[in-house]
């Protein structure tokens, strides 16, 4: 309880903090939801996780605001905390905006190679979200799925198989190499992952193995050959006996323990796998597990009973030993009772009649129908069922009587000559039955078998003629049919009565009865207008009818895979994947063979203490070790000595002594390191060497730690890409290449009561602050009176930091004055709103910056440009291709158009038809690189920057400017 209270307190604290967060963090006063996006960039890990949960909830509802947090998530994808990396990817994939599809794709690819299996699991979940957002990314996602399928972590297996089922369920070839691994990992995968994998492997097995449902099957999984045939035997029978594939047996063997799972979905998944894949004599092992599930909740019972009912139809004796488990209980819901009696109809019937006495009318009706099914399916009990149903005709409950009549009618059609007494008994009970369907069934029986009741039928018809107009439509139809049949068999007694009934029906309001009456009249009462059809009236009306087949509602459900939604609904649901038929010939089983790479054992790797030992297996080719190892140690010593010369407080003697000890300690190591591993190890080791040298520790303990650290660095270099410690170029601002003279209206003279204002961007570093954009304002007085105390109000509408110009005490009529000011737009194109005031009035104005004015130009060499551009790829890169006329393309025009829309510096280029520009954002100093590559007749514009939103906006502006040449 205390733990829950603590969590609630933490959540409330974080939400309260969101509500009071200053708007200066984001520059949007009217949208407090965005505060979470800024909060995600700082704070503790626990607070970040809470904020990410908050953003996942609201990202789809406020997509435009969530887009502004993309750069924050990109940084969080490289956070040391695996939970933060996974949360960032989860939030990023929850923003359902097509514009960030490339960013999501690159984030998923990076997360798929993450060291943390939890992050890789999150990447697998993100695959499904990206595929639903943009199905065109299918091929790229398949590459990621193929990589994740090779993952050996049980945490990842279920998620990646789910992604496989969603994106490319037909790509069975991706499963071949991973089939045995998935079978072996199945027991250790989480429960819902087990369900997904089992269903996938069921479909896979139906395409790769031949059917085990053969009489000549041999199930000794270790036998290589069942028997040898003689030439004579081969001539008689060319077919070979079935021998189960070892991989087929592997799947059955590894899923069998899961029948003991606590999760009902897992048990159901294994049961359907055995039902569709296992030999028939092995199906008995799933019965006990399925019966165990009947003790669960009613929702579980409903699904399990549906599947048991389907199984019982095909294998009637499968659940007979557990018949007591299907007895109906008083506490069962109606739908559970109904399913139980339907299952029992295939097992036993002796006690089904007792359920008819139930007060639940729907259940009683279902029981009677089950008795009818039992009588049809089990010929030995047909008479018993029929006699029991006849006894129900005396029941006081009309519902029971009506349902019994309907079922008896269907049963009597199978052997009508042997049950004439039952027909007579039902005819005598006709007056006491009021349910229309039951009355219609009795009339149909009397008409169909009127020769068995030659005296009773006319009497019943006379009674019905008197009440014809008051009967239900379904009863009227049967009265007309009975009259017609009696007319043909006993015309003397019923001729006038039949004509009377036909005349009544001729004017009935129901068109079906009216048309049927007119047709029968012309058929059985010939006249001068009757055609040749009347000669065949007896053959038409008295033709024998085929007996109906009473079958369970689950008879046709076996066409769907058990345990699926389609089987439950008895209709193909969206996304249902059909099971294929068994192949006639088994495909090549060698496709599932995987090369086994023998791991090379490295010596002990200790993180900090020599006694903390953990053996680690690394996979890389064997190469000559000693020269490369010595080269590695020599480079490490060089770094030691180089650093010591730059830190006077570190004694030379101590450094050399430390280097010597490390070299001596590692002299006899037998590593097998390829060149790339040596380079990566050196890169990782450099940072830690610098730390220890600065600390100037040279003790035996330090030597042991450094040796263990060397082992650790080699291990890290072999497992993942080396950690890079980037050295950024100096981003010193240079003079602008182009300064536009265009001014923008800030305040019109009519709105400002004679005071007008215009502003322009000077593209110079702001003297009021390094993060501010420099602007120049021109204020004019168009009135005939002087304006006093012109200033900017201290109350601003947004959270931007604005450096106000000094108040103008007096502006004479028809005079103008130019002042400068600075605005920190926080690298956003959101307008800066403020009040421009005079002594008497206040006017709300706003400055809307173009994205190109939020930059400062910088200079760098072409090599530095290429190097920095290589670091800003993937999700930090935006590009577009445009078509240009060759005669309008020149270096001067390209440079002029680009610098006219963006304050960038021109980088000298040694390559023809490639133009480069560089700048940095004013507020954060983030690097912005622009390149235009002319490829006749196209031009490729590329923007590289960490500010992805700014990059996409700048790309549109540069594209418009260059294309307009």
Mean pLDDT score, 858-879? 86
438 neighbors 405 (Cβ within 8 angstroms): yes
Spatial separation of the C-alpha atoms in residues 932 and 685, rounded to whole Å: 39
For residues 117 and 359, the model is more confident at 117
User: Taking the C-alpha atoms of 121, 123, 127 and 133 in order, what is their torsion angle to the nearest 10 degrees?
Assistant: 130
User: Taking the C-alpha atoms of 325, 326, 328 and 331 in order, what is their torsion angle to the nearest 10 degrees?
Assistant: 60
Q: Determine the 3-state secondary structure of 879 from DSSP.
A: strand
- Residue pLDDT, tens place only, 365-409: 777 777 777 777 666 667 777 777 777 776 777 777 777 777 777
What tokens does 881 get?
């291709």
- Domain 37-168 class? mainly alpha
pTM of the full structure: 0.53
Spatial separation of the C-alpha atoms in residues 164 and 145, rounded to whole Å: 7
680-696 burial, b for 16+ CB within 10 Å, e for fewer? bbbbbbbeebeebbeee
Residue 120: which pLDDT band, with cuts at 50, 70 and 90? very high
446 neighbors 460 (Cβ within 8 angstroms): yes
pLDDT at position 954: 92
- Residue pLDDT, tens place only, 319-334: 878 877 877 777 778 7
3-state secondary structure 553-613: CCCCHHHCCCCCHHHHHCCCCCCCCCCCCCCCCCCCHHHHCCCCCCCEECCCCCCCCCCCC
Q: Which residue has the tokens 């017609």?
A: 484
pLDDT at position 199: 94
- Residue pLDDT, tens place only, 636-660: 555 555 555 544 444 444 554 555 4
The reply to whether 37-168 and 853-963 are identical in fold is no
Spatial separation of the C-alpha atoms in residues 271 and 560, rounded to whole Å: 14
pLDDT at position 25: 32
Q: Determine the 3-state secondary structure of 305 from DSSP.
A: helix
CA 240 to chain centre: 45
Spatial separation of the C-alpha atoms in residues 799 and 928, rounded to whole Å: 25
Q: Which residue has the tokens 């974080």?
A: 14
Residue 256: which pLDDT band, with cuts at 50, 70 and 90? very high
767 neighbors 803 (Cβ within 8 angstroms): no
pLDDT at residue 15 tops 70: no
Residue 227: which pLDDT band, with cuts at 50, 70 and 90? very low
For residues 124 and 515, the model is more confident at 124
- Residue pLDDT, tens place only, 840-863: 888 989 998 999 999 999 988 888
Q: Where are the domains of the chain?
A: 37-168, 420-545, 625-722, 744-849, 853-963
Mean pLDDT score, 238-259? 84
Phi-psi region of 925 (alpha: psi -120 to 50; beta: other; left: phi over 0): left
pLDDT at position 523: 79
CATH of 744-849, one of 2.60.40.1150, 2.60.40.420, 3.40.630.40, 1.10.510.10: 2.60.40.1150
∠ CA(827), CA(831), CA(834), 5° rounding? Answer: 120
Spatial separation of the C-alpha atoms in residues 651 and 854, rounded to whole Å: 49
Residue 356: which pLDDT band, with cuts at 50, 70 and 90? confident
918 neighbors 907 (Cβ within 8 angstroms): yes
Q: What proportions of the chain, in percent to the nearest 5, are helix, strand and coil?
A: 55, 10, 35
* CATH no. for 853-963: 3.30.310.10
pLDDT at position 429: 74
Spatial separation of the C-alpha atoms in residues 873 and 576, rounded to whole Å: 40
| Class of residue 39 by CB neighbours under 10 A (exposed 0-12, middle 13-18, buried 19+) | buried
pLDDT at position 617: 33
718 neighbors 679 (Cβ within 8 angstroms): no
Spatial separation of the C-alpha atoms in residues 929 and 855, rounded to whole Å: 11
Mean pLDDT score, 460-487? 82
């Amino acid at each position: 309880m205390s733990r829950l209270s603590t969590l609630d307190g933490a959540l409330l604290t974080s939400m309260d903090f969101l509500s009071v967060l200053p708007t200066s963090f984001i520059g949007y006063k009217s949208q407090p939801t965005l505060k979470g996006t800024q909060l995600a960039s700082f704070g503790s890990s626990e607070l970040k996780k809470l904020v990410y949960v908050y953003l996942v909830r609201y990202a789809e509802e406020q997509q435009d605001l969530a887009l502004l947090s993309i750069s924050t998530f990109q940084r969080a994808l490289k956070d040391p905390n695996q939970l933060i990396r996974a949360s960032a990817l989860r939030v990023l994939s929850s923003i359902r905006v097509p514009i960030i599809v490339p960013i999501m794709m690159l984030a998923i690819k990076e997360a798929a190679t993450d060291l943390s299996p939890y992050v890789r699991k999150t990447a697998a979940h993100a695959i499904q979200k990206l595929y639903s957002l943009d199905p065109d990314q299918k091929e790229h996602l398949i590459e990621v799925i193929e990589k994740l399928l090779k993952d050996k972590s049980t945490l990842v297996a279920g998620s990646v198989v789910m992604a496989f089922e969603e994106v490319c369920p037909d790509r069975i070839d991706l499963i071949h190499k991973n089939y045995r691994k998935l079978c072996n990992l199945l027991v250790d995968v989480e429960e819902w992952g087990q369900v997904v994998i089992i269903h996938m492997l069921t479909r896979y097995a139906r395409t790769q193995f031949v059917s085990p449902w053969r009489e000549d099957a041999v199930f000794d999984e270790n036998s290589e050959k069942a028997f040898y045939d003689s030439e004579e035997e081969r001539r008689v029978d060319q077919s070979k006996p079935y021998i189960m594939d070892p991989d087929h047996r592997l799947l059955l063997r590894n899923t069998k323990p899961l029948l003991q799972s606590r999760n009902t979905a897992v048990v159901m998944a294994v049961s359907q796998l055995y039902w569709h894949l296992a030999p028939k004599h092995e199906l008995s092992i799933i019965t006990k597990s399925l019966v165990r599930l009947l003790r669960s909740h009613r929702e579980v019972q409903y699904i399990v009973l549906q599947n048991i009912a389907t199984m019982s139809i095909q294998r009637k004796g499968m659940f007979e030993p557990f018949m007591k488990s299907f007895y109906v209980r008083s506490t069962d819901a109606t739908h559970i009772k109904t399913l139980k009696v339907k299952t029992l109809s295939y097992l036993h019937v002796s006690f089904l009649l007792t359920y008819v006495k139930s007060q639940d009318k729907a259940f009683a009706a279902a029981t009677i129908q089950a008795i009818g099914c039992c009588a049809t399916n089990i010929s030995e009990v047909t008479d018993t069922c029929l006699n029991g149903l006849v006894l129900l005709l005396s029941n006081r409950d009309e519902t029971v009587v009506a349902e019994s009549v309907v079922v008896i009618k269907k049963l009597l059609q199978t052997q009508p000559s042997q049950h004439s007494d039952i027909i007579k008994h039902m005819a005598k009970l006709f007056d006491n039955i009021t349910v229309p369907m039951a009355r219609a069934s009795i009339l149909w029986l009397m008409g169909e078998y009127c020769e068995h009741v030659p005296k009773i039928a006319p009497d019943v018809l006379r009674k019905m003629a008197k009440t014809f107009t008051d009967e239900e439509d379904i009863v009227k139809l049967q009265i007309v049919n009975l009259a017609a049949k009696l007319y043909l068999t006993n015309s003397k007694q019923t001729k006038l009565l039949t004509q009377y009934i036909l005349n009544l029906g001729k004017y009935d309001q129901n068109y079906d009865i009216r048309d049927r009456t007119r047709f029968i009249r012309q058929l059985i009462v010939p006249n001068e207008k009757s055609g040749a059809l009347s000669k065949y009236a007896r053959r038409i009306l008295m033709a024998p009818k085929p007996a109906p087949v009473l079958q369970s509602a689950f008879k046709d459900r076996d066409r769907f895979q058990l345990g699926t939604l389609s089987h439950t609904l008895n209709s193909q649901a969206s996304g249902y994947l059909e099971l294929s038929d068994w192949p006639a010939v088994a495909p090549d089983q060698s496709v599932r063979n995987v090369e086994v790479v023998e791991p090379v054992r490295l010596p002990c790797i200790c993180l900090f203490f020599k006694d903390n030992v953990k053996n680690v297996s690394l996979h890389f080719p064997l190469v000559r070790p000693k020269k490369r190892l010595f080269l590695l140690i020599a480079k490490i010593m060089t770094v030691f000595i180089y650093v010591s010369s730059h830190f006077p407080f570190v004694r030379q003697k101590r450094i050399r002594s430390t280097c010597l000890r490390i070299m001596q300690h590692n002299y006899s190591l037998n590593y097998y390191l390829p060149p790339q591993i040596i380079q990566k190890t050196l890169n990782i080791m450099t940072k830690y060497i610098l730390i220890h040298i600065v600390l100037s520790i040279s003790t035996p303990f330090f030597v042991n730690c450094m040796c263990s650290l060397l082992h650790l660095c080699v291990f890290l270099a072999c497992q993942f890409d080396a950690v890079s410690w980037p050295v950024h170029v100096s981003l010193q601002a240079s003079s602008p290449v182009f300064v536009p003279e265009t001014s923008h209206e800030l305040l019109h003279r009519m709105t400002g009561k004679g005071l007008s204002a215009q502003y322009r961007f000077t593209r110079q570093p702001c003297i009021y602050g390094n993060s501010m954009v420099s602007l120049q304002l021109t204020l004019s007085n168009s009135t005939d009176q002087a304006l006093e105390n012109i200033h900017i109000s201290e109350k601003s509408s947004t959270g931007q930091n604005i450096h106000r110009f000094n108040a103008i005490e007096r502006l004479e009529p028809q005079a103008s004055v130019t002042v400068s000011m600075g605005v920190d737009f926080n690298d956003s194109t959101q307008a800066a709103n403020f009040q421009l005031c005079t002594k008497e009035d206040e006017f709300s104005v706003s400055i809307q910056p173009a994205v190109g004015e939020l930059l400062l130009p910088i200079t760098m060499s072409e090599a530095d440009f290429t190097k920095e551009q290589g670091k800003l790829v993937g999700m930090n890169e935006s590009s577009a291709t445009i078509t240009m006329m060759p005669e309008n393309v020149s270096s001067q025009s390209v440079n002029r158009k680009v610098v006219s829309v963006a304050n960038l510096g021109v980088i000298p280029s040694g390559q023809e038809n490639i133009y480069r520009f560089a700048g940095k954002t004013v507020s954060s100093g983030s690097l912005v690189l622009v390149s235009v590559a002319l490829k006749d007749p196209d031009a490729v514009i590329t923007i590289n920057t960490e500010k992805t939103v700014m990059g996409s906006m700048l790309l549109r502006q540069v594209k418009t400017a260059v294309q307009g040449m």
